[in-house]
Structure formats: structure tokens, C-alpha cells
Amino acid sequence: MRREQLVANIRNKKSFLCVGLDPVVERIPAFLNDFEDPIFEFNKRIIDATKDYCVAYKPNIAFYEALGLKGWESLEKTVNYIPDSHFKIADAKRADIGNTSKAYAKAFFETLPFDAITIAPYMGEDSITPFLEYENKWVIILGLTSNKGSKDFQLIQTAEGQLYEKVLTTCSSFGDDSNIMFVVGATQTNQMQRIREIIPNHFLLIPGIGAQGGDLKSTVEHTINKDVGILINSSRSIIYADHSEKFDEFAKNEALSLQKDMSDFLRISV
């Protein structure tokens, strides 16, 4: 998906919501176990319920890999079911030496029709550039995450600033704002102004709203740019809003509520 198309979708829907599809077998409604593929049935109903209110979906690959072959089959059916009008993110956090990255890129951009993949930048440029060889595909690089351990490395002070700042500066030079995004955790509000100084035009994928404690209003105020430039991910607060046979209705209401808030922000800010 081209940047212009993503921006247009955001403006048309008045939403920058990304729904995380992170199914845990033990947490999905019990009645779904009567279906041949409970995980896909769960995802399918979530997608049907939320697609009018979001612009992106982000399956976390680990939850599918943990189920072996059946999980991978559920993932394949899920990504093919997501409408092509929506931005499809493989939250895989891959990156390895060049040949391995080429194989990962083929897996998620050719074998599976994802638009983007999350990448860990530690191994450097040659582990990232194979993903950038695909036209209209995106690399989403871990910039500054919300987890407690982020301070172990990402916030280390160096001669060139904190380490995450070096990651943003260096990795943004591997491509441009039409094929590189960065992950920034919603709880990192103290750093967001600095992040926008370094990468004012890049899109940010921002997890951590809702169940992880991030505040939507504060996050938007610190990160929105002229093209909106943000995708706010919400997973658990939407997909696990309810555990009854009406779980998809509750998911719809949660997504709609977020979309309404986002519409207000767009009306005021952009």
C-alpha cells in the first residue's frame, strides 16, 4: 500500500485505528471451539465487526506460531480475509543476516500478502534492506517501546544522545517516509516531542493504548503531523471486550468509540 493511499483511507474514515489480532485460545469465547478453526472464526467475526472503524489490522505472529501448523493456517486465512482496503501488518519482529531477511521478506510479502512487517534493528542495515526491496511494502522498525525493559538498552545515553535516537536517525536513512515507519509505545509520552523532532514526517505505529495504560489524547497531541502520521493500535481492549456469544458486538462498540475520539482529534488538529 502506498503512503498516499494510507493517508487517504485515514482521512476518509476519520480513523487511524489499527486493530491487533492477537488470539489466545484460552481467552476466546468457548462456543467458538465448536468450529473447525476457532482462531480464524474469532478473527473473522472481529474483522467483520470492526472493519468500518479501522484502517489497519496487526496480527501478532507469535500467537499463531505457538499453535504450530494449524496456527499458521489460521494466520493465512486471516490475512487473506482482511479487506485489501486495510493496511495489513505482520507483527513478526524479524531481521537477521541478509539471506535470512530475504526469506522472511518473501514469507510475509509474497507467500502472505502483508503490507508491512515489524523489524528489530539491532543487526543493522543489511538485515533491514531486503525488506525494502519490495515496492509499496513497509518496514516498521522498533524505535522506543513501552515495556519495562526498554530502559535496558533503548534509553542508554551515548555521545549522540539516547540509543533510540541513534536508531531513529540511522534507520530512517535506509529508506524514506514512504516505506519506513517506527514503533513508539504510547506510554513514552516524555520522549514523543524529541521523536517528532528527529522524524517529523514518518508514520508511527503506536501500541499501548487501553489495556497497557497509554492515553489516547496525550499520545495524539504529541505525535500527529500534517498527514496524521500515526496508527494507534488497540488489541486486548477491543478483541477481549466480552467473552459471550456477542463478543463481536462489544468489539464493534469499542472500535466505534475509539473511531469517534479519533474523528474529533482529526477535526481539531488537521
Give the pLDDT confidence score for residue 77 in this predicted structure.
Answer: 98
Percent of the chain with pLDDT over 90: 89
Other CB atoms within 10 A of residue 134 CB: 17
Mean pLDDT across 182-186: 95
Give the pLDDT confidence score for residue 268 in this predicted structure.
Answer: 67
Grid cell in block for residue 117:
512487517
Give the pLDDT confidence score for residue 208 in this predicted structure.
Answer: 81
Average pLDDT of every residue of the chain: 95
Residue 189 has pLDDT above 90, yes or no: no
To the query of whether residue 102 is one of the catalytic residues in this protein, the response is no
Residue 211 has pLDDT above 60, yes or no: no
Give 215's pLDDT tier (boundaries 50, 70, 90): confident
Is 42 within 8 Å of 77 (Cβ atoms)?
A: no
Could you report the per-residue pLDDT of 24-78, keeping only the tens digit for each?
Answer: 999 999 999 999 999 999 999 999 999 999 999 999 999 999 999 999 999 999 9
The model carries a pTM of: 0.96
Mean pLDDT across 89-94: 98
Least Cα distance to 79 among 63, 70, 90, 95 occurs for: 90
Residue 104 has pLDDT above 60, yes or no: yes
CB-based burial label for 256 (10 Å; 0-12, 13-18, 19+): middle
Give 269's pLDDT tier (boundaries 50, 70, 90): low
Among the listed residues 13, 44, 51, 93, the single catalytic one is: 93
Q: Catalogue all structural domains in the chain, each as residue range(s) with its CATH number.
A: 3-265 (3.20.20.70)
Give the pLDDT confidence score for residue 79 in this predicted structure.
Answer: 98
Between CA 42 and CA 64 the distance in angstroms is 13
CB-based burial label for 217 (10 Å; 0-12, 13-18, 19+): exposed
Backbone φ and ψ of 162, nearest 5°: -70, 155
Residue 112 has pLDDT above 70, yes or no: yes
Residue 166 has pLDDT above 80, yes or no: yes
Higher pLDDT: 147 or 177? It is 177
Between CA 235 and CA 227 the distance in angstroms is 24
Give 214's pLDDT tier (boundaries 50, 70, 90): confident
Least Cα distance to 139 among 106, 96, 171, 99 occurs for: 171
Give the pLDDT confidence score for residue 160 in this predicted structure.
Answer: 85
Give the pLDDT confidence score for residue 187 in this predicted structure.
Answer: 87
Least Cα distance to 150 among 163, 160, 166 occurs for: 163
Residue 213 has pLDDT above 70, yes or no: no
Mean pLDDT across 120-149: 96
The lowest-confidence range among 22-31, 72-81, 153-162, 203-212 is 203-212
